[in-house]
Amino acid sequence: LPTYRQAGIISPILLILLRCVQGFALGGEYGGAAIYVAEHSPPKERGWSTSWVQTSAAFGLFGALLVILVTRWLLGVHAGPEAFDAWGWRIPFAVSIGLLGISVWMRLKLSESPAFARMKADGEASKAPYAEAFGQWKNLKLVLLAFFAMMSAQGAVWYTTFFYVQTFMEKFLKVPPVTINGLMMAATAVSAIFYVLFGWLSDKVGRKPVMLGGMTLALIFYFPGFHLLERAANPALAEAKARAPVTVTADPKDCALQFDPVGKAAFVSSCDIAKSALANAGVSYANRPGLAGSAAIVQIGETRIVSQSAKGLPAKDAKAVKTTGEAAIKAALAKAGYPAKADPARMNWWGMFGVLFVFVIAATALFGPLAACLVELFPTRVRYTALSLPYHIGTGWIGGFVPFSAFAIVAATGNIYAGLWYPVVFTLISVLVTLFLLPETKDRSLDQ
């Protein structure tokens, strides 16, 4: 792909389009794998068998983190630490091409799943699966139930556990990326065991109580867990916030919601420049309303900074204003004792891993039995089509937007923990819908 400097806005558009194509392909992957394994499994072992499908997420993420870690290290040695962000991030994508041949070979060896093969032989297969899955209320209500009961929480909990926590540690706690990769590899390796354990447990006590337990644990632990993570990863930051609190006084109309999934939005008002600099520094701040049309004022301990606006300026000049403003804020933060980076000597490694471990338990308790529950929820005629939609809306839209939405909330509120309200809301919805509306599916026949 061309860089933004080479092709402008076309570059991120092409990247997003290619990711959408990848998503369409993946849309059939998960549903097909879950159904295929479930229909080949003994009814009493369906949760255990399909949980191995879920472990593919752990193996895939572990492999991705390993490739990224090795790539960062090699580029750091031979091309400098900036090379990965500039162009080296393409290397892991290129490496993944080698998996394509293995994937195609495996698919050529597979036949239809037993339940669908019997239905097809009897002439009972759906002629219009999309119309039947989404046009008939009896099936559509199951799609909605799967989305609100399971997939909303799955997207929120799983992506918070394995992705937003990385964003939080890097952007807000200033933990080095290599350290984050190592911690996440350890947590991901451990998670593989628990997918299978909770899948097996759901065969004994039911899908619903196991998944509900995972959702509830995440809901309870979101805020305490991230507070503990800050104390373990960067205690100097926590100490500085208590010693020299930060406030931003600005005209509310001058402050935009900094939601930027493409990474190319221009936030150029005095308020936006100030809040972006503080959010990127991992600093919580209090918001105070300023006079209409006034410039934003940042108070850091005893230091007062008037943030300048870059509105209406040429791109080069706007960048200079933002750079100057960010430098002034960084200097004031350093003077007040805010650390530029987390100190490895003061990191509580076991504390950090302990927080990740609790989130891993929550994510795997929800995700481990999920494939079996989804397969058992839908009738055979529309199972493949109906299962895939809620799964990928939950993971792609709700889960995929966790980092961007959470960062936008942080920048708007000034609280580095406020972004957690995004996964909290979706998890709470799923807890309530699962508790009161989701039926227990264990031991259901798949031939219905």
Tens of each residue's pLDDT in the chain, 448 residues: 676 677 777 877 787 777 666 655 555 577 778 888 888 888 899 999 999 988 887 888 788 888 888 888 888 767 777 788 777 877 887 777 777 777 777 777 766 666 667 666 766 666 676 787 788 888 899 999 999 999 999 989 999 999 899 989 998 899 998 899 899 989 999 999 999 999 999 999 999 999 999 999 999 999 999 999 999 999 999 899 888 999 999 988 888 776 666 555 667 889 988 888 888 787 888 989 998 889 999 999 889 999 988 888 888 888 898 889 889 999 999 999 999 899 999 999 999 999 999 999 999 999 999 999 999 998 888 887 888 778 877 777 787 778 778 878 887 788 889 999 999 999 999 999 999 999 999 988 877 6
Torsional sign, CA 195, 201, 205, 209: negative
* Residue whose tokens read 């630490």: 81
Residue type present at position 211: M
List the one residue out of 167, 158, 190 whose CA is nearest residue 357.
190
- On whether the CB atoms of residues 133 and 375 are closer than 8 A, the answer is no
Rounding to the nearest 10 degrees, give the CA dihedral for residues 295, 297, 298, 300.
Answer: 160
Cα gap 39→80, rounded to integer Å: 51
Which pLDDT score is estimated for 37? 87
> What does the block give as tokens for 256?
């935009």
Lookup: tokens for 97: 């091409």
End-to-end CA distance of the chain: give it in Å, rounded. Answer: 47
User: How many CB atoms are closer than 10 A to CB 417?
Assistant: 18
pLDDT for the residue numbered 224: 97
Residues of the chain with CATH 1.20.1250.20: 16-234+342-436
pLDDT computed for residue 119 by the predictor: 65
What Cα–Cα distance (Å) separates residue 29 from each residue in 162, 169, 195, 372, 425? 21, 31, 19, 15, 28
Q: Note the Cα 142 to chain centre separation in Å.
A: 25
> pLDDT value at position 122?
64
Query: Comparing C-alpha atoms, which of 170, 149, 166, 159 is closest to residue 218?
Result: 159
Angle at 93 between CA 92 and CA 94, to 5 degrees: 90
Structure letter (DSSP) for residue 123? T
Hey, what are 23's tokens?
Answer: 């998503």
The pLDDT score that the predictor gives to residue 362 is: 97
pTM, entire model? 0.81
CA–CA gap between residue 341 and residue 46 (Å, rounded): 47
In angstroms, the CA 277 to CA 377 distance is 47
Element spanning 303, H or E: strand 303-306
Residues forming CATH 3.40.30 domain(s) in the chain:
243-335
CATH of 243-335, one of 2.60.40, 3.40.30, 3.40.1340, 1.10.3470: 3.40.30
Q: Element (H or E) spanning 57, and its range? A: helix 46-78
- Give domain 16-234+342-436's CATH superfamily: MFS general substrate transporter like domains (1.20.1250.20)
